[in-house]
Amino acid sequence: MTTTSSALPLPASFAFDRRVQRPLVILLALAAPLIALAMGKSWVRVLDFALLYVLLAIGLNLVVGFAGLLDLGYIAFYAVGAYTWAFLASPHFGIHLPFWIVLPLGAAFAALAGIALGFPTLRLRGDYLAIVTLGFGEIIRIFMNNLNQPINITNGPQGIDSIDPLTIAGLDLSRDLDLFGFQISSLLLYYYAFLACVVFAIILVRRLQISRIGRAWAAIRDDELAAKAIGIDTRMMKLLAFALGATFGGVSGGLFAAFQGFVSPESFSLMESIVVLTMIVLGGMGNLAGVIVGAIMLTALPELLRHFAVPMQMALFGKTLLDPEVLRMLLLSLAMIVMMLVRPAGLLPARTRYAHRDRRNA
Amino acid sequence: METFLQQTLNGLVSGSIYALVALGYTMVYGILGLINFAHGELVMIGALVALQTVTLLNAAVPGLHPVILLLAGVAVAVPVCMAVGYLIERIGYRRLRNAPRLAPLITAIGVSFLLQTLAMIIWGREFHVFPQLVSTTPMQPMDGVVVSPLQIFTIVVAFALMGGLMLLVNKSRLGRAMRATAENHRVAGLMGINANGVIAATFIIGSGLAALAGVLFASNYAIAHYAMGFTPGLKAFTAAVLGGIGNLPGAMVGGLVLGLVESFGAGYIEHLTFGFLNSSYQDIFAFMILGAVLIFRPSGLLGERVADRA
Amino acid sequence: MITLLESRAVNKRFGGLKALTDVSLTIRKGEVYGLIGPNGAGKTTFFNVLTGAYAIDGGEFVMNGAELPAATPHLVVQHGIARTFQNIRLFRELTALENVMAGHHIRSSAGVWGILTQSRAAREEERLMQERALEILDYVGIGRHADTVARNLSYGDQRRLEIARALATEPQLLALDEPAAGMNATETVGLRTLVETIRGDGITVLLIEHDVKLIMGLCDRVAVLDFGKKIAEGTPAEVQRDPDVIRAYLGGHRAH
Ligand SMILES: Nc1ncnc2c1ncn2[C@@H]1O[C@H](COP(=O)(O)OP(=O)(O)O)[C@@H](O)[C@H]1O
Ligand SMILES: [Mg+2]
């Protein structure tokens, strides 16, 4: 390939020292919702969703970026997690289990779904997987839409509402917290809960990445035949990536159901899978920091378009030629194509490490 | 017996359309080893461009014979799709031939969504009624079996196109070059074949077939829509895998078998699942077949023929 | 002399083409065994069938007295066979160090749980693996490039890295497919020294090579393939005198 990952031409002062960079990122992550709150509650909501997407993108990155398996039905695992929560913690069946049961169960179901799907398909030609997972995503959606009869399981297209919120140690995150006379918004509570999940996920994924398993995945991605030739059981390793990635999807799905209080098949369309895929393509497949930035950018995109693109078009043409939703699809599809053609290493090209040592050359 | 004949007929109609689309997938996969996700969108573009042409022409010159309208629609839709198919290859995939495995696949998905979005911008989100240019008046050749001229027309046109393609591939110089390139790009190059030209030709031919399939599809369902290419695209790919990817006769057989299975399956799914699933699940048949083929016979019914990429 | 690997009447067909016909060889422990023959003779195919990359159509391989599993490359490695490829196949986005550490995969055992919790055993194993990988890189002479991404290495160093990665699987038999192809004279001499060192350390080497001089200087015994058949076997000197071999090499201008 000719287009390699040259570093961005940034001024030297911009390339922070590691020791400065890390505290700065932590500070930013902690302060972000407070800044957003100053701009209006809806922006905090956007941040909450951004964190859920970050979680999803981290999981999909494990499958696509590390192991090189193109999963186009990833959102189905998100759906499995969300519906697990909706079934087991809502008035729909009258079951109200606590999060520490529902969330692991959702993750486990998602992992099982991943194994069930991966087991027959992963021994095949790599690119068949893309189409099989695409089909799988659609099947799950068709079932969600139609399993309201003869027995009402999913409540069909209407979806399930009044879902139990996330309640940790008696603290209901859906209510504003009154702390010594200060009102702490529910949106902030969710933000910090999700942030904790994201940090935990990053730690786990980093550990996997710098391990014999992470290297085996990268080996399969770079050259499957050579990976086999050094004794890697490629099928098992792919299955592992698939199941672990699905687990992340299941967890974020459960959190999504709790946060939103409502799930319906509409939230799990193919478009959502594509959005998450674009997040990791933008960030640079395999590169965790880039993937996180990509996820945040794309979650904020619809809001930004709503706030800026519409008024801008009004000012320029006197009417809205492209509504924000169309504009978003246009930008997403163009992003995918242009990134692959021009910057396959992502917007923030960074070396992904698979050993504890630093790399010399970029 | 009557329902059996009726289901067979219905299956042949949709199956022959799947087959036309499947040919495009299989030709490209056979040569490049790439799933051209955007191929289904060419079905949609073909249908919508034909519809636009027919509408404009009808407004400009009212009272034209439907057959002339149909021919005009096809005459515009086919070259437009060929051009789009060519551009996709030229601008997108060609640069990625030696890129890491996932790059062309992701590009293909991006192209697919781009085409859908552009169609949405041009033609809006609504469903458009596709005019009945070939009569759909039902005829009853025997008790309980209903067939329309449109259905017969569809089957005849699809088979004629498939026959023409087989002639082209087996008898013409271009066909020989295509087969050689599918065998091995480098060797084909050594034999003095212009691989780039052959690959472009493959995209152009496949896109033309997709345009015609789009017109037939829209005629049969009387509807056209920016997202209409997705499902037939997916099903056609299934048909291509079912028949053996890279294998032209396989794509035709796969398309027809898929059409028939779907047609019969939709009729019997309630019995099969004891009333648990009804015909709204018809679309998952294709996926179930795809799953079954991949598990039990991944090289397809007639065997796959794929370029050696090593 | 102890037999390490034996191939018994191995056959491989590609459609109508007989790429290997009843090929029987015996490789002894500790020797450098050369496999030569004109282009298209079936040498690489022999490697592919041996290592399980291709299914075998007849015959069998016996390693240390046990039959090798067919068509499962990752199991063949566990029996102590490692290979390199005629056209280099490295993990291009990994550093040299990481490539070699990947080669350690089957000689390490940390599981998901140990890795996620960073158990003491997992951390210790990871540390040892890295140490060992650095040693191997030094051994093949590219220690200073440990942190260079594989695709940025020079051609000769990529060849060495591939050998290092294969050595990391701790093989008894190292199968090298034209390791000197594309190397200049200096690099070839270096390679020759490396193979001799490897043999000196008790690893048996199976060597496909075009460079007749290299083969003759390096190998203890040689087999000659032509059109998928073994036409001669013996010491380099014997083989060089064999009339069939001379005919195969001199008479053969072929399509491949
Ligand atoms: N995967 C394959 N499919 C079809 N034919 C092959 C394949 N691999 C090798 N061959 C054929 O088998 C013969 C032996 O090839 P090979 O083992 O690569 O020869 P060598 O390594 O001795 O030059 C050649 O005619 C080659 O074209
Ligand atoms: Mg060879």
pLDDT score for A279 = 92
HEC string of chain A equals CCCCCCCCCCCHHHCCCHHHHHHHHHHHHHHHHHHHHHHCHHHHHHHHHHHHHHHHHHHHHHHHHHCCCCCCCCHHHHHHHHHHHHHHEECCCCEECCHHHHHHHHHHHHHHHHHHHHHHHCCCCCCHHHHHHHHHHHHHHHHHHHCCCCCCCCCHHHCEECCCCCEECCEECCCCEEECCEEECHHHHHHHHHHHHHHHHHHHHHHHHCCHHHHHHHHHHHCHHHHHHCCCCHHHHHHHHHHHHHHHHHHHHHHHHHHHCEECHHHHCHHHHHHHHHHHHHHCCCCHHHHHHHHHHHHHHHHHHHHHHHHHHHHHHCCCCCCHHHHHHHHHHHHHHHHHHHCCCCCCCCCCCCCCCCCCCC
pLDDT over 80 at A182, yes or no: no
Interchain CB contact of B137 with A (< 8 Å): no
Q: For A205-257, what is each residue's pLDDT tens digit?
A: 999 999 999 999 999 999 999 999 999 999 999 999 999 999 999 999 999 99
Tokens of C99: 């490539």
Q: State the pTM of this model.
A: 0.90
- In this complex, which chains have at least 3 CB pairs below 8 Å with chain B? A
SS3 content of chain B, % helix, strand, coil (to 5): 75, 5, 25
Which ranges in chain C belong to alpha helices (H)? 43-50, 73-78, 96-103, 112-116, 120-140, 155-168, 185-200, 212-218, 236-241, 243-251
Local confidence band at A16 (pLDDT 50, 70, 90 cut-offs)? low
- Radius of gyration from C-alpha coordinates of chain C: 19
What is the number of structural domains in chain A? 1
Smallest CA–CA distance from A142 into chain B, residue: B281
CATH annotation of C1-80+171-256: 3.40.50.300
**Domain range annotation of chain C:** 1-80+171-256, 91-169
CA A21 from centroid of its chain's CA atoms: 24
- Which of B41, B95, B113 would you mutate first to test chain A, the one with the most A CBs within 10 A? B113
Q: Does B294 reach chain A within 8 Å, measured CB to CB?
A: yes
Q: Which protein residue has the closest C-alpha to ligand 1 atom 7?
A: C14
Residue of C nearest to A236 (CA): C74
- C-beta separation of A49 from A221 below 8 A: no
Report the percent of chain C where pLDDT is more than 70: 97
Mark which residues 127-186 of C lie under 8 Å from A by CB. 129-130, 146-149, 152, 165-166, 168-169
pLDDT of residue B1: 60
The CA–CA distances, whole Å, from A69 to A60, A77, A126, A137, C165 equal 9, 15, 7, 15, 24
Residue of C nearest to A209 (CA): C115
What is the atom index within ligand 1 of the atom nearest the CA of C45? 17
CATH number of the domain residue A322 falls in: 1.10.3470
What is the ipTM for the molecules in this complex? 0.93
Percent of chain A with pLDDT over 70: 93
Give the pairing type, strands C32-36 and C204-208.
parallel
Of B100, B110, B294, the CB nearest to A121: B294
Q: Which two tokens stand for residue B46?
A: 């073909």
Q: Is residue B80 part of a domain?
A: yes
Predicted confidence (pLDDT) at residue A11 exceeds the cutoff of 60? no
**What range does the domain containing B241 cover?**
2-132+146-296
Q: What is the mean pLDDT of residues A269-287?
A: 89
Structural domain includes residue A251? yes
Measure CB to CB from residue A329 to each of B92, B113, B290 and give the nearest one: B113
Structural domain includes residue B22? yes
Q: Average pLDDT, stretch A40-67?
A: 92
Chain A residues whose beta carbon lies within 8 Å of the beta carbon of residue B105: 70, 127, 130
CATH number at residue B67: 1.10.3470
Residue B155 binned pLDDT confidence (cut-offs 50, 70, 90): very high
List, in sequence order, the alpha helices (H) in C42-119: 43-50, 73-78, 96-103, 112-116
Q: What is the pLDDT, as a whole number, of residue A17? A: 64
Among residues A106, A52, A121, the alpha carbon closest in space to that of A267 is found at A52
Q: Domain span at residue A173?
A: 3-342
How far is Cα B221 from Cα B151, in angstroms, rounded to an integer? 11
Q: Do residue B281 and residue A142 have CB atoms under 8 angstroms apart? A: yes
In this prediction, residue A343 has a pLDDT band, given cuts at 50, 70 and 90, of: confident
- DSSP 8-state class, residue B268: H
Note whether C91 contacts A226, CB cutoff 8 Å: yes
SS3 B128: strand
Q: Which of A78-82, B228-232, B287-291 has the highest mean pLDDT?
A: A78-82
* Token digits of residue A229: 């030739």
- Number of folded domains that form chain B: 1
Gap between the Cα atoms of A285 and A343, Å rounded? 11
DSSP state of B276: S
- Residues within a 6 A CB radius of ligand 1: C 14, 17, 19, 37, 39-45, 256
Best residue among C10, C12, C13, C14 to mutate for probing ligand 1, ranked by most atoms within 8 Å of CB: C14
Q: How far is residue C17 from each of residues B224, C13, C45, measured CA to CA in Å?
A: 51, 6, 12
A148 inside domain:
yes
Q: Is residue A317 part of a domain?
A: yes
Distance (Å, whole) CA A343 – CA C143: 31
Q: Over 60: is that where the pLDDT of C5 sits?
A: yes
